Chains A and B, each alone.
Chain A
Amino acid sequence: MPQLEKDYIDTGKMKYVFMDFPLPMHAQAMKASEAAWCAGDQGKFWEMHDRLFANQNALAPEALLKHAEVLGLDAAQFKQCLDSGKHAAQIKAAMAEGQKAGITGTPAFLLGFVEADGRVKATKKIPGAVPYATFKAAIDEMLSSKK
């Protein structure tokens, strides 16, 4: 991911969109997704996102509060956001989009171009856990097809 960011996202060749897909069999995944959204309310979505990925074994409710504290978030506001489940609908909407596209497991990547209405017409699917070279080949093929 850091290499992708450097080669394609920072250079303006590609946008990256994170869509939550918390699988029901992972009991803590939903609240972890909500935690990132709640941090986003305070302008720190990506900071929480990176922190959660780096600490995948620390996702219990008290661990989430601790992450918020470390990131310097307003603790009361964060806790209230998490407890209310105010972002659950958005996360479920993201999941529903994935399911419509045939996604069943995580991680899974789609590549496509933005349409006039802002939606993305994906024409390539990359299953998760593949080497960087596989991503690079798929992205380069997409970029050259558009020229």
Chain B
Amino acid sequence: MKKLAALSVFVILTLFFTQPGFGQTSEELKSLREEIKALKQGQTAIQKDLQEIKNLLQTRPAQPQGPPPFKEAVVSIDAGHVKGRREAKLVMIDFSEYQ
């Protein structure tokens, strides 16, 4: 029983003497709050930027992927070798190589 009382006193004393430490902690809390405030402000700025980027992407027309599809081309076949009858109007041009 005596031992327990001594321990209680020790604990109370310890708590009491660490009291000045609370003062220090409230200083830290203050700077922490300021830090959080700054972080929040940064986050708000980032969100604003993101929204601007989103808006930009939405207003921009979709870019076509890869080369444009073939529409038409007028080709001289003077440098080609022809097979087939003269009267055929449809022509298949084969661009090729031997290797």
Show the binding face of A for B, using Cβ within 8 Å: 4-5, 8-9, 12-23, 26-29, 32-33, 36, 40, 45-46, 49, 52-53, 56, 59, 90-91, 93-94, 97-98, 100-103, 106-115, 118-125, 128, 139, 142-143, 146
| Chain B interface SS verdict (over half) | loop
Given known contacts A26-B97, A32-B98, A93-B79, A16 and B92 CB-to-CB distance under 8 angstroms: yes
Contact residues, B64-96 vs A (CB, 8 A): 67, 70-85, 87-96
Cβ-based interface call for B99 (8 A): yes
A19 to B80, CA, bound (A): 5
Inter-subunit contact B96/A119 (CB<8 Å): no
Q: Are A110 and B92 in contact (CB under 8 A)?
A: yes
B75 adjacent to A97 (CB under 8 Å): yes
In Å, the complex CA distance between A121 and B35 comes to 71
Chain A hits for B77, CB < 8 A: 17, 19, 97, 118-120
Q: How large is the interface on B (under 10, 10 to 19, 20 to 34, 35 or more residues)?
A: 20 to 34
A125 / chain B contacts, CB cutoff of 8 Å? 70
A56→B84 contact, CB < 8 A:
no
Is the Cβ of A14 less than 8 Å from the Cβ of B90?
yes
Chain A residue with Cβ nearest B81: A18
Against A, the Cβ 8 Å flags (1 = close, 0 = not) of B32-65 are 0000000000000000000000000000000000
